[in-house]
Structure 1
Amino acid sequence: MSGLAAVLFDMDGTLVDTEVLWWRSTERIARGLGHELTDADAPEVVGRAVEDTAAHLVRVSGGGDPSEVGRELTADFFRAVEAGAPMRPGAQRLLTALEAHGVPFALVSASPRLVVDSVVGGSLAHVPFAFTLSADDTDRTKPHPDPYRSAAERFGADVRDCVAVEDSPDGAASAEAAGCRVLVVPSLLEVPPSPVRTFARSLEEVTPELLRSCLGGGVPRQDRPGSQAVRPSSSTTPST
């Protein structure tokens, strides 16, 4: 490994505060299928691709067509992000610092291209991403390694010299399977530790130096007090 080649950012719940919007969209569609979303559904919703969540809703409700449910989820989520997707605390400062240090970065999302373009054209319009990847740009999306492998290839970089910044178990698993080191900033779901994962409580405490240090190995969660995430609840994902 020759140093930090690139930083690969997840979008929902990492750079922008959209995981709650996704939960609310899923909640609305689930209710239409006769299913009330609870914390037990969270692992099949938070950080998951549209088709995975759609399949889950069809399975637990016993009705609906996965493709149609997926289209409804995408349309509802798109309307929500079009109304505004605020950046997460510390995101702007970190992106500015990376640009100043000459560290390239890209967006690697499990959201559909429609949603990614809406956010990148809105709250992230000023961010100089080298490129963006959506769920539509690879054969398989997270938790498979394809998105992060593709991103490293587009940079012409060794994936082992790239650090992924993620907030969810599926996202972290995708990046790790691809060969990235992973900086985890949890949002709605707890992310389990691993030897290649470093944990931070917020992007506000992340610096280019911390990202470079990730290449040397992960920092166990217990070494970073207070970094454990909370599961969705009525206080973090209120019903609509």
Structure 2
Amino acid sequence: MTTQLPAAVLWDMDGTLVDTEPYWISAETDLVESFGHTWTYEDAMTLVGSGLWESARIFQSHGVNMPEDDIVAHLTGRVRDRLATAGVPFRPGARELLKELRDLGVKTALVTMSVRAMAEQVLSHLDFVAFDVLVTGDEVDQPKPHPEPYLRAASLLGVSIEDCVAIEDSRAGLASAVASGAVSIAVPHAVTIPDAPTHTTWPTLAGRTSTDVTALFAASRSKGIPR
């Protein structure tokens, strides 16, 4: 078996590294209801993995009479407050796999549509330097599902995107990773992701190791991305 690791592993944050979706849903529901309208769980699921400013326009269409920047600031502030008071809920196996990859010297990037201040707050709860670079939603022109965030991460790391593995939990995020050319892993959480030959699905990161990443990367290079 080959021992070739990818040049880098690119991680989504919300829903992949940490389980912040309940915090976002609560903040979204309170905001929409404060304007006398209804925000359902199904409504919230349509925004999983989307850019914050694109989501802000959806909230405006649901009756939130606020500028886009104010909506983003309000929701981000509410979620950051929850992170500060309730803690950072890491997804099963994510922290362990990330630490193992770092110990092996694999480059890593966090590719999130949350803002940088929130990403840094989450990462402050790790007891090791987890990422070489951060690509955040307030720093890209085209958010997920556009490939720009992942392409920028590879560029900042100085590696070819085709030599990277991306880990995602949402449809929008996975579409971004696949379109970029990265070997893509779906770890569905809040929303289901249909099987497709464009990516590999792992039900969870619990128990996954660098050996699994190596095998997946090798298979993608020799036989195409497995289902």
Same fold (TM over 0.5): yes
Name 2:108's counterpart in structure 1.
Answer: 105
Q: How far apart in 2 are the matches of 1:71 and 1:52?
A: 13
- Is the contact between residue 44 and residue 53 of structure 1 (CA under 8 Å) also seen in structure 2? no
* Cα deviation code 1:96-123 (max 9, x no counterpart): 22123332212111101121121122x2
Matches within 5 A, 1:1-240: 4-61=6-63, 63-83=65-85, 84-121=87-124, 123-215=125-217, 216=220, 217-220=224-227
Aligned length: 218
Contact 1:183–1:214, Cα closer than 8 Å, also in 2: no
Percent of aligned positions that are identical = 35
Task: Provide closer, same or farther for how the CA distance between residues 102 and 184 of structure 1 changes in structure 2, counting only shifts above 3 A.
Answer: same
**SS in structure 2 at match of 1:61:** coil
| Unmatched tracts of structure 1, length 5 or more | 221-240
Paired residues of 1:82 and 1:119 also in contact (CA < 8 A): no
User: How far 1:3 sits from its partner (Å)?
Assistant: 5.5
Deviations 1:2-31 (A, max 9, x none): 851100011111111112111111111111
Segments of 5+ residues of structure 2 without an aligned counterpart are none
The 3-state SS of whatever aligns with 1:106 is: strand
| Paired residues of 1:5 and 1:104 also in contact (CA < 8 A) | yes
Q: What is the RMSD of the two structures over their aligned residues, measured on CA atoms? A: 1.9
Q: Which moved more, 1:167-176 or 1:32-41?
A: 32-41
The 1:127–1:36 alpha-carbon spacing in structure 2 relative to 1, beyond 3 Å, is: farther
The aligned amino acid for 1:21 is Y
After TM superposition, the score normalised by the length of structure 1 is: 0.83
Structure-2-length-normalised TM-score: 0.87
Asked if structure 1 preserves the Cα contact closer than 8 Å seen for 2:32 and 2:62, the reply is no
